[in-house]
Amino acid sequence: MELPDRGGEGAAPRLISAIPEPGQEPRTGAESRTPDPSALRDRRFLLCLYLVGFLDLFGVSMVVPLLSLHVKSLGASPTVAGIVGSSYGILQLFSSTLVGCWSDVIGRRTSLLVCILFSALGYLILGASTNVFLFALARVPVGIFKHTLSISRALLSDLVSEKERPLVIGQFNTASSVGFILGPVLGGYLTELDDGFYLTCFICFSVFLLNAGLVWLFPWSDIKVNCTKNGLQLGKDRALWGKTDCEVQEGSPSSGSAAHGKSPLPPWTEVVSTLQVLRSLLLSDMWDILLVRLLMAVAVMLYYSNFVLALEERFAVSPRTTGYLISYSNALGALAGFALGPIMRLYGHDSRRILLHSSTLTFLLLLLYSTARAMAAVVLSSTLLCFSTVIGRTCIVDLQLTVGGAQASGTLIGIGQSVTAVGRIIAPLLSGVAQEVSPCGPPSLGAALALVAIFIMSLNKPRHGGDGSDRVKSE
């Protein structure tokens, strides 16, 4: 776990101090091999954060696969079920950026606790739903506050250096993916019992309460946040950040606005002011990154949109066999996070170049799948797509944070989630049109969109350096 160098305000962080602080005698012999206790505490904090990600997706994945069956059992027509189902994505579209920005303003601990508890309330209402109205009502708090993973990634960005960030976020994604693999197994078993759906929702509610307790017990006062002068520059509006994690530890007296002799603004006023400051950044420096994220997200969603149906029509593969293939792919995707470390070292921590190459590989694999004449090609493309998509998602988040700066990490990750939510709205429409042409239509269209993303990255090649030096400068 990297700690900020105490020798200077903007110095680069490091894992375990090998350089003595000013006035400190260098350690030799056995002392030099003794781990720094604070580094061990920070490492334990990271592992606890990985557990939060695991429990979050473990609880959610128990319930989500059963939603369509439950809403049908409540007597909802397919149209009503579709409208209720889309409400979650629409709420996420508008809430992702606001909640991310809110977490930058009030701090990660408070925002994590609020999001986890309101999400737990949503799943509790879902378990008690006996009609379509209660079912739709239960999706509202979840759609607005289900941002545990986004805020956790923002917290990880606060804690580590730029070089470590892709690796740590990749490990966090891996831990979360394991929960997504195990959750449906337990949910499928429980739903076969009497009142199984309600029992599953109650267990999900309990998992979220456990997660909230874990966040509450985190040793927040022991961690040090990695903030540098190279973060998002707010000029004269610097004081609007108020009491953030970058200035003080959670629960400590705030020195942000007071140090500037200004009274702190109300939280939502700060959120609005922050979004106004970010507007020019997004339009001038990040439009291409967000566009690439949208294109690649839609491309991968198109691949999965008719995967089961396409394999049945093209190769007469049964849904059960396709399910095994999907589980195999998910398991490989969970392991892909461990490959990020060697890949980052191989590329010299150049996230932009890794993203370009992983997107190129994704394009080629989508093309291979679209033109496959045998199941062996499908299995090969599915195997490699797990790695290329996981690595690509991690690198696009790292690029957003590199260009936007660490101090607005919650807002930037929230904006990225909003872009992905737009993709979730667009992809089903494009998939339906493409399937009218051919079962291979959706992945072929996805390959075309991936090619456009590669073209955009190639045109903007000189703008985003891999070492994080090309950051937003002081005004």
Taking only the tens place, the pLDDT of each residue in 31-60 is: 445 556 666 767 788 888 999 999 999 999
pLDDT greater than 50 at residue 178: yes
The mean-pLDDT minimum among 10-24, 97-111, 193-207, 357-371 falls in 10-24
**Average model confidence (pLDDT) across the chain:** 76
Cβ atoms of 466 and 350 within 8 Å: the answer is yes
DSSP single-letter state for residue 14 = B
Tell me the β-bridge partners of 3: 14
User: Which is higher by pLDDT, 191 or 75?
Assistant: 75
Closest CA to 132 of 67, 58, 36, 225: 67
Task: With cut-offs at 50, 70 and 90, classify the pLDDT of residue 9.
Answer: very low
Closest CA to 136 of 90, 182, 86, 84: 84
Would you state the pLDDT for residue 146? Answer: 92
Task: With cut-offs at 50, 70 and 90, classify the pLDDT of residue 231.
Answer: very low
Would you state the pLDDT for residue 219? Answer: 80
Task: With cut-offs at 50, 70 and 90, classify the pLDDT of residue 443.
Answer: very high
- CB-based burial of residue 140 (10 Å sphere; 0-12 exposed, 13-18 middle, 19+ buried)? middle
Provide the Cα torsion 289, 292, 297, 302; round to 10°.
170
Please compute the mean of the pLDDT values over residues 432-438 and round it to a whole number.
84
Please compute the mean of the pLDDT values over residues 397-416 and round it to a whole number.
76
Taking only the tens place, the pLDDT of each residue in 258-302 is: 444 445 555 555 555 555 555 555 556 678 888 999 999 999 988
Closest CA to 225 of 246, 252, 251: 246
What is the 3 state secondary structure string of 100-165?
Answer: HHHHHHHCHHHHHHHHHHHHHHHHHHHHCCCCHHHHHHHHHHHHHHCCHHHHHHHHHHHHCCCCCH
DSSP 249-263: -TTSPP-HHHHTT-P
Signed CA dihedral, 71, 74, 77, 83: sign only = negative
Task: With cut-offs at 50, 70 and 90, classify the pLDDT of residue 338.
Answer: confident
pTM here? 0.70
Taking only the tens place, the pLDDT of each residue in 89-145 is: 888 888 888 888 888 888 888 999 999 999 999 999 999 999 999 999 999 999 999
The mean-pLDDT minimum among 305-314, 426-435, 460-469 falls in 460-469
Structure tokens at 400: 């957003």
Would you state the pLDDT for residue 402? Answer: 82
pLDDT greater than 80 at residue 225: no
Return the SS3 of 3: strand
Would you state the pLDDT for residue 436? Answer: 83
- The whole-angstrom separation of Cα 455 and Cα 74 is 47
